[in-house]
Amino acid sequence: MAALVVGAALLTEASGAGASGTSTSLETSTRISSVPFSALAYDLVSADGTVTSFGGAANFGGEESSHLAAPIVGMAVTPDGRGYWLVAQDGSVFPFGDARYFGSLSGKPYTSAHDVIAIVSTRDGGGYWLCDASGIVTAFGDAQPIPSLLWWKAQHAPIVGFAVMSSGKGAWAVNSIGIVYHLGPSPLYGNLRDKTGGVPIVGMARAPNSKGYWLVNAKGYVTSFGSASPAVPPPAILANKGAVVGMTAAPVAGYWAVSSTGYVVPGGVPSRGGLARRSGPTAIVAIARARPVQLAGGGTYPAGTIGYDINWPQCASSGSAAAGPLPGPPGYPAATTAYTIAVVGVDGWAVDSYNPCLSPEVAWAKKATLPNGTLAPHYQLYLFLNSPASTSTIDQSGPAGTCADLASSAKPACLAYNYGYNAAVEAVSYAKSENAWAKRWWLDIENDQCASGEWNDAAAGEWWSCEQKLDDGTIQGALDALRKDGLIPGVYSTALQWNAITGSYTPSGGTLPIWVAGAPWTSPPYPVSSGYEKPSALQAWCTGQYDFGGGTVQMVQETPGSNNYPYDPDFAC
């Protein structure tokens, strides 16, 4: 975390609205025709952390299922649109998707004067700034320190809006009575001091070229300054849609404002939709511009494409948080090839044995490309699963109940289901802590050597119980947990191993995608010098003869064996 900067640089308030301030009451609606409709996207976030996405913005979940210590107050989206941060009033920061965690202000004593009001991302997504109601700005990650507001200037009224120059060297803050302050080398373009008509200012947004900004009040009226495009009067219907709570800039020009009920007010650009609800679980608190993203949606990779899956064996050394040589460009170790498929393992055992180099391996996965060199569909993750052991603790309680309270005949099934469910929950939690997020999660179900009784015997290499009904419950619990988290699960196995472990079980919840192991070796992705068949030979594995569990094969793995190849190649059906 960067040091807190308070005080002493050029911190001046703008005096008077001046000619640069343009009132919405004098403007007519202006559509910015140079902005492609397909490039317009944004997210709405509510106080409980629920995120709703519009215009092709990718949604990675929120904090609505958590017990937050303080309400969410702001949001920032990563530059590539594949992640975002939420910030709470107490300064807690919650990353989602590819957004990385760089620190927060949570746990620090605060009063209402120090409530955090906004989070702004750096241009490269490698950091962010938090601004509180007193005008203190704190930088994290690669965000440059920005001078905070002098304490005596913050006594006028609380800061309600914060915007950072594209250079990251300066910023603006506005308080509820319309006074704009420049923090660092950011030019002033005017303000609304004493000219708000008693309606509080609730937010601001920076013009794309950093040579102007907009201010918005609680009734949705926007005033433009500097190069900010002309403001547009809010529609009369807004009066019935709740108070406006904030705004964000659109690409190139224009803006959107949002009300507490989720009604989006467009300014010079089209709306991409909103909630417009009259009531709801919690009020909308912010709108954040997003970048439309085409994710795989948890679905398949393009048919015929190839790639790799990696896990802890590809770490630099045992227990290392650094990755060793990874397949594909730029190094092309072991004569590997460019890759489209990229799947990363989260663990090496269902509980307490997580992949220590998950973060750098995910960074590798994000570089996957389609054959034409464009970005490939989003990477995928997998979770290794096994039966509980007699020493397991995460199986004692869960959706199946508190097992100790049940009759002895019902306890094994309770423990098995809770174990699978909680193992998946913990794996997803670990992945999020490493800034790893994927819509598709595979369950790795393998090794059909079983232990007698209800427990596994890992020391003997027996990962599953011979009680197949209990194994079915463990797998079903994991599938249910992933689906409850909004994820799309699939199963990695073979028909032989699946049937031996589960007794030919067909899980509930819909048709399972299958990733089948044991396919013949082909070149590529194995080195062409190996003389294997072409990948087209794997099409036969996609015809249904290798299906199991009521599912359909979507991906095939060429498992290394006697060839001693250090990576697992994969082929998309």
The predicted-structure confidence for 289-303, as pLDDT tens digits, reads as follows: 998 875 443 446 888
Q: Give the pLDDT band (50/70/90) at residue 453.
A: very high
Contacts (Cβ under 8 Å, ≥6 apart) of 212? 20, 189, 206, 224, 225, 226, 227, 228
Q: What is the distance between the alpha carbons of residues 362 and 342, in angstroms, rounded to a whole number?
A: 9
The predicted-structure confidence for 87-137, as pLDDT tens digits, reads as follows: 999 999 998 877 888 999 986 656 667 899 999 999 999 999 999 999 999
pTM: 0.56
Contact 546, 554 (CB under 8 A): no
* Position with higher pLDDT, 127 vs 370: 127
Q: What is the distance between the alpha carbons of residues 219 and 241, in angstroms, rounded to a whole number?
A: 10
* Position with higher pLDDT, 393 vs 113: 393
Same domain, 356 and 482: yes
The predicted-structure confidence for 258-272, as pLDDT tens digits, reads as follows: 999 999 999 999 998
Lowest mean pLDDT among 76-85, 270-279, 420-429, 487-496: 270-279
**Domain presence at residue 301:** no
Same domain, 271 and 350: no
Same domain, 268 and 336: no
Q: What is the distance between the alpha carbons of residues 561 and 559, in angstroms, rounded to a whole number?
A: 6
Tell me the mean pLDDT in the region 508-530. 89
Token duo for residue 189: 């373009």
Give me the CATH number covering residue 17.
2.120.10.30
Residues of the domain holding 473: 309-572
Same domain, 21 and 149: yes
Same domain, 122 and 67: yes
Over the chain, what is the mean pLDDT? Answer: 86
**Domain presence at residue 470:** yes
- Looking at the predicted structure, is the pLDDT value of residue 478 above 50? yes
Q: How many separate domains does the chain show?
A: 2
Lowest mean pLDDT among 173-177, 261-265, 534-538: 534-538
Give me the CATH number covering residue 428.
3.20.20
Same domain, 253 and 324: no
**Domain presence at residue 294:** no
Tell me the mean pLDDT in the region 473-480. 95
Q: What pLDDT does 1 receive?
A: 28
Same domain, 277 and 328: no
**Domain presence at residue 66:** yes
Nearest to 201 by CA among 163, 161, 156: 161
DSSP 8-state symbol, 522: B
- Phi and psi (nearest 5°) for 526? -65, 155
Q: What pLDDT does 140 receive?
A: 96
Q: What pLDDT does 28 receive?
A: 29
Same domain, 33 and 75: yes
Rg (CA), the chain: 27
**Domain presence at residue 1:** no
- Give the β-pairing of 440-444 and 488-493: parallel
**Domain presence at residue 298:** no
Same domain, 355 and 285: no
Q: What pLDDT does 432 receive?
A: 85
3-state secondary structure at position 312: helix
Same domain, 197 and 315: no
Tell me the mean pLDDT in the region 426-455. 91
Same domain, 103 and 32: yes
Final residue of a domain: which of 234, 258, 289? 289
Contacts (Cβ under 8 Å, ≥6 apart) of 59? 43, 51, 52, 53
Same domain, 269 and 385: no
The predicted-structure confidence for 207-245, as pLDDT tens digits, reads as follows: 999 999 999 999 999 999 999 999 999 999 898 899 999
**Domain presence at residue 22:** yes
**Domain presence at residue 2:** no
Contact 38, 216 (CB under 8 A): no
- Looking at the predicted structure, is the pLDDT value of residue 536 above 70? yes
DSSP string, 113-164: GG-EEEEEE-TTSSEEEEEETT--EEEEETPPP-PPPPTTGGGSS-EEEEEE
